[in-house]
Amino acid sequence: MKFPAQLLGLFMLWIPGSSGDIVMTQSPLSLPVTLGQPASISCRASQSLLYSGTNYLSWYQQKPGQSPRLLIYWASTRASGVPDRFSGSGSGTDFTLTISRVEAEDVGVYYCQQALQSPPTVIKLRTKTCLSGDFNCPKVLLIWGAPSRSSKGV
């Protein structure tokens, strides 16, 4: 499997001096959305992810049957090929992923990851998107969270 250089860099990064495991939490656990409307999710780290002027926080999207896709790295830098409707913000311990206008292709699982400590960690919940017009779509349209594969295998 091929990975973008920045993704490999985040996975391989280890910065000495961090103490204790970093716990990641996301909220809300569910968020109703409609096509064309904005959506955002918050991610909080139990300790600061800011080191030497860089926030070591990434956002990923995973679609059914596919590997996770890097959306945002360093908290606010869009990965290559990611539409500009996706943006990341925040610093230290509090971060936000925003989709300015939700589109049908945005359906999938979203999660945040810290890369300050080794190994990188993600939260244990997930955010799954679906469209309100889908007959099988639950009333909760977004359920924010973690990858279906082990983070060691990503």
Question: How many domains are there within the chain?
Answer: 1
Give the per-residue pLDDT at 16. 43
pLDDT mean values, one per 10 residues, the chain (154 residues): 46 47 77 82 91 95 87 98 98 96 85 84 55 43 40 35
Residue 81 domain boundaries = 5-16+25-145
The DSSP 8-state label assigned to residue 154 in this structure reads -
Q: Look at residue 78 and tell me if it is in a domain.
A: yes
User: The CATH number of the domain where 51 resides is what?
Assistant: 2.60.40.10
Give the per-residue pLDDT at 135. 44
Q: Look at residue 154 and tell me if it is in a domain.
A: no
Task: State the pTM of this model.
Answer: 0.71
Q: Look at residue 129 and tell me if it is in a domain.
A: yes
- Indicate the Cα dihedral angle 127, 82, 122, 147, nearest 10°: 60
Give the per-residue pLDDT at 63. 81
Strand order in the sheet with 39-45: 24-27, 39-45, 94-99, 86-91
pLDDT digits (tens, 9 = 90+) for 122-144: 654 555 555 455 444 433 334 34
Give the per-residue pLDDT at 123. 54
Q: Look at residue 99 and tell me if it is in a domain.
A: yes
